[in-house]
Amino acid sequence: MKNIIAHKEFVVTLRDRRFWVAGGVVLLLLLVAVWTGFQNYRMLAEKRGQANRSARAAWLGQPEKNPHSAAHYGTFAFRPKSDLSFLDFGLDTYTGASVYLEGHRQNDAKFSQAEDATVLIRFGEMTVAFVLQLLIPLLIIFLCFSAFTQERDEHILKLVASQGVSVADLYWGKVLGLTRVTGLVLGPALLLAAGLLFAQTGFQTSIDTVLRLLLFGLIYALYFLLFITGSVYVSARSSSSRASLLTLLGVWIVACVLLPKAAANLGESLFSVPSKYAFQRLIHEDEEKGIDGHNPSDARAKELEKKVLAQYGVDSVAQLPVNFDGIVMQEGEKYTSMVYQKHFGALQQQFQKQNSLATVLGFVNPYLAVRNLSMGLSGSDYAHFLDFKDKAEQHRFALVEQLNNQMIRFSKTGDWEKKVSRDFWAKTPAFTYQLPSVGWALRQHGVSLVALLLFSGLLLGGIQRSLKSVAIL
């Protein structure tokens, strides 16, 4: 009986011109979002690849110079685009694309797309995720709001009930039929997205990317099922189509527009972050308390000198078999790195606390849970950005340490004119970034995943139990 009802709902919806208009518009937007998103992704991926190669070539092309001068010359670490980022831009537009790596300083990521964008970017971007998270639910509402109320007004439900059809069969039959209708809108766009994704790698995409895409589809399938079941249930409980539509639109506005914005504003108020000036001042104050790599006369450098002289059993730095200036540089590097890690860590914790508010609200609002999971699976969330920054910082510290150690072994104290040959630059490793695994991404959003599954279980179970009390006539 459910299949008969589902088929009837499917056919009736297809005969409705409003579906072809609304569904056609949403499908067109979805296809445009997939195509433009993929073109944007491919362009940025190529540009960052070229920039990364140029930065490496510039590093290798340095003339002979003192290793510490090379540390000040620095290089760049570019963040590669993840394969699924064209589906959900997430925070990629606002976070920087590269980090300048230099001695004594841990820089923040720079050159985000938002820096060059107009004020229109504040209204969001037309991405696949935007259509899936906001427009498809709206389409579902317009498809489902009269699922019961229209047939009740036309006295069709009396005929159906007289055939002995249970409320549960009628309800789940309508849900199944409307799910098939929704699939007609989503199917072409998802096939296009998968085709573009796999074609760019010659259909040799990694297992991790396939798993991310599969989970991405499953998460959204569950999200749409929640809207379909909820919308049909509201229709079954409403006295009229008008009341059903107003109720569902109210839920959509609160869940998809007001609550996310309120959570973001409340998070910023509760967990404030210092201004850029105050942040830099705090770092500078802590730097002043440590060893200065460029000042051997510094009191802390003098203490280090005593330890080094005792270690080598000599009376002066001139008798040392190594370059004491390089030792001071490396000790200063360790200290400044610790200072930057402390302050950047505290800043990142504040941002994560701000985000945690939306994560917790995911238990009552599946939109927030799906938004977090979507960004995480696409590799465009804050966790992936921090992972890139951490890897870039590890590379920076290792590179500066290698340069300082070369200076320690290669020259004597005070010999700032001694230079290494150009061959040395090729011995330093190039920065490469590997996207974390899908398991890592899910662990970062474990709370959102639990929230979505728990909300889904409670909603679907609650609807099933309460169907017995629904009066369809």
Residue 308: helix, strand or coil by DSSP?
helix
> What would the pLDDT profile of 330-360 be if each residue is shown by its tens digit?
888 898 999 999 999 999 899 889 888 889 9
Q: Output phi, psi for 316, to 5 deg.
A: -145, 160
In this prediction, residues 359-373 reach a mean pLDDT of: 94
In this prediction, residues 442-449 reach a mean pLDDT of: 94
Q: Exposed, middle or buried: residue 136 (CB in 10 Å: 0-12, 13-18, 19+)?
A: buried
Q: What local confidence, expressed as pLDDT, does residue 364 receive?
A: 93
> What would the pLDDT profile of 1-38 be if each residue is shown by its tens digit?
778 888 888 888 888 888 888 888 888 888 888 888 88
Whether pLDDT at 298 is above 80 = no
Q: Output phi, psi for 282, to 5 deg.
A: -65, -40
Q: Token match 């290089």: residue?
A: 75
Beta-strand runs (E) in 55-117: 75-78, 98-102, 105-106
> What would the pLDDT profile of 32-59 be if each residue is shown by its tens digit?
888 888 888 888 888 988 999 999 999 9
Whether pLDDT at 120 is above 60 = no
Question: b/e per residue, 30-56, with b = 16+ CB within 10 A?
Answer: bbebbbebbebbeebbeebeeebeebb
Whether pLDDT at 295 is above 70 = no
Nearest to 109 by CA among 268, 278, 297, 347: 347
Amino acid at site 176: L
Provide the pairing of β-strand 75-78 with 105-106: unpaired
Nearest to 366 by CA among 211, 124, 137: 137
- Mean pLDDT of all residues belonging to the chain: 87
CA distance 370 to 260: 12
**Length of the chain, please?**
473
Q: What local confidence, expressed as pLDDT, does residue 122 receive?
A: 58
Q: Token match 């609807």: residue?
A: 463
In this prediction, residues 313-339 reach a mean pLDDT of: 88
Provide the pairing of β-strand 98-102 with 75-78: antiparallel
Give residue 472's pLDDT band: very low, low, confident or very high (50, 70, 90): low
Determine which of 147-161, 192-206, 237-251 has the lowest per-residue pLDDT on average.
192-206
In this prediction, residues 223-240 reach a mean pLDDT of: 92
Determine which of 164-173, 230-239, 395-404 has the lowest per-residue pLDDT on average.
164-173
In this prediction, residues 303-316 reach a mean pLDDT of: 87
Model's pTM, two decimal places?
Answer: 0.87
Beta-strand runs (E) in 255-399: none
Whether pLDDT at 118 is above 70 = no
Q: What local confidence, expressed as pLDDT, does residue 223 receive?
A: 95
Residue 330's alpha-carbon distances to 103, 285, 385, 417, 420, in angstroms, are 10, 20, 28, 19, 18
Q: What local confidence, expressed as pLDDT, does residue 473 receive?
A: 64
CA distance 232 to 244: 9
The residue extents of the domains of the chain are 1-468
Determine which of 108-112, 169-173, 180-184 has the lowest per-residue pLDDT on average.
108-112
Give residue 374's pLDDT band: very low, low, confident or very high (50, 70, 90): very high
> What would the pLDDT profile of 189-204 be if each residue is shown by its tens digit?
787 877 777 777 666 7
Give residue 115's pLDDT band: very low, low, confident or very high (50, 70, 90): low
